[in-house]
């Protein structure tokens, strides 16, 4: 499973990329607002750090506006992936972006398997089902991931499942068990994956015993 980080915080991205953990980055208008930066400047800075796909989202809601914005975002860097919403204009733009701009696309704000089916038929590179927001409404976000996985496998669709709106390490594990292609994870959640109290306890005990040997390796 590929790990993308879900943030526009350049410092966080640089730190995680230095750990060799990142296969890409996803941003959205809310994350750009949170970054306090200009979308073009922030996206360019992120693309200079991470080699993988960096999702930058259009904000127009009509096809023509989406294409204008996608053309502008694509000029920022070769690894900019254009994010469009799961609407009919977004799906139309998805096809056109792949065809006319030859760019990857990430269809976002997906909340059902049927929406994901439409995105695959539109040739989306990635589909972003929002697990956490489904859970917040009392639905089962992981069930939607499982349904999409089965449908995509039934028809051998190329679209990659990019699990989004991830809120916990358990979400990450369950996405991997189901076979999501990518998980886009908030920085804190990504860092938390490495933590286990028994690891900390065991390392402390090893070091204490090693100190008693009086030895040095180098
Ligand atoms: O990429 C989508 C993601 O940022 C949404 O997460 O926590 O706002 O539902 P959240």
Distance 108 CA to ligand 1 centre (A): 10
- Give the CATH number for residue 176: 3.20.20.70
Residue ID of nearest Cα to ligand 1 atom 1: 164
**Inside any domain, residue 44:** yes
Which of 2, 34, 83, 92 is an active site residue? 83
**List of residues 6+ apart from 9 with CB closer than 8 A:** 34, 35, 187
Q: Which domain holds residue 170?
A: 2-213
In this prediction, residue 144 carries a pLDDT of 98
Note the pLDDT of residue 32.
98
User: Residue 125 class from Cβ within 10 Å (0-12 exposed, 13-18 middle, 19+ buried)?
Assistant: buried
The verdict on residue 199 lying in a domain is: yes
Three-state DSSP class for 196?
coil
pLDDT tens digit at each of 218 positions of the chain: 999 999 999 999 999 999 998 999 999 999 999 999 999 999 999 999 999 999 999 999 999 999 999 999 999 999 999 999 999 999 999 999 999 999 999 999 999 999 999 999 999 999 999 999 999 999 999 999 999 999 999 999 999 999 999 999 999 999 999 999 999 999 999 999 999 999 999 999 999 999 999 999 99
Q: Does the residue 8 lie in any domain?
A: yes
CA distance 43 to 54: 8
Tell me which of 12, 46, 132, 163 to substitute to probe ligand 1's pocket, judged by most ligand atoms within 8 Å of the beta carbon: 132
What pLDDT is recorded for position 104? Answer: 98
Residue 205 maps to a domain: yes
How remote is the CA of residue 8 from the centroid of ligand 1, in Å? 12
Judge whether 128 lies within some domain: yes
pLDDT tens digits, residue range 1-16? 999 999 999 999 999 9
218 located within any domain: no
Confidence (pLDDT) at 77: 98
Q: What is the total count of domains within the chain?
A: 1
Nearest atom in ligand 1 to the alpha carbon of residue 55 is 1
The answer to whether residue 131 is domain-embedded is yes
């Amino acid at each position: 499973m590929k790990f993308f980080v879900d943030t526009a915080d350049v410092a966080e991205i640089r730190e995680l990329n230095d750990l060799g953990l990142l296969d890409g980055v996803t941003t959205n208008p809310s994350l750009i607002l949170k970054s306090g930066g200009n979308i073009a400047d922030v996206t360019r800075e992120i693309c200079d750090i991470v080699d993988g796909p960096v999702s930058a989202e259009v904000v127009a809601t009509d096809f023509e506006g989406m294409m204008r914005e996608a053309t502008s975002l694509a000029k920022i860097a070769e690894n900019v992936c254009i994010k469009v919403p799961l609407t009919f204009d977004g799906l139309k733009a998805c096809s056109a972006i792949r065809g006319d701009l030859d760019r990857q696309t990430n269809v976002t704000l997906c909340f059902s398997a049927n929406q994901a089916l439409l995105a695959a038929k539109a040739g989306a590179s990635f589909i972003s089902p929002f697990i956490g927001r489904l859970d917040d409404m009392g639905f089962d976000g992981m069930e939607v991931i499982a349904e999409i996985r089965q449908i995509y496998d039934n028809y051998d669709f190329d679209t990659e499942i990019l699990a989004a709106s991830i809120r916990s390490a358990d979400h990450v594990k369950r996405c991997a068990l189901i076979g999501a292609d990518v998980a886009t994870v908030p920085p804190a959640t990504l860092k938390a994956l490495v933590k286990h109290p028994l690891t900390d306890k065991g390392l402390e005990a090893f070091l204490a015993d090693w100190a008693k040997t009086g030895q040095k390796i180098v």
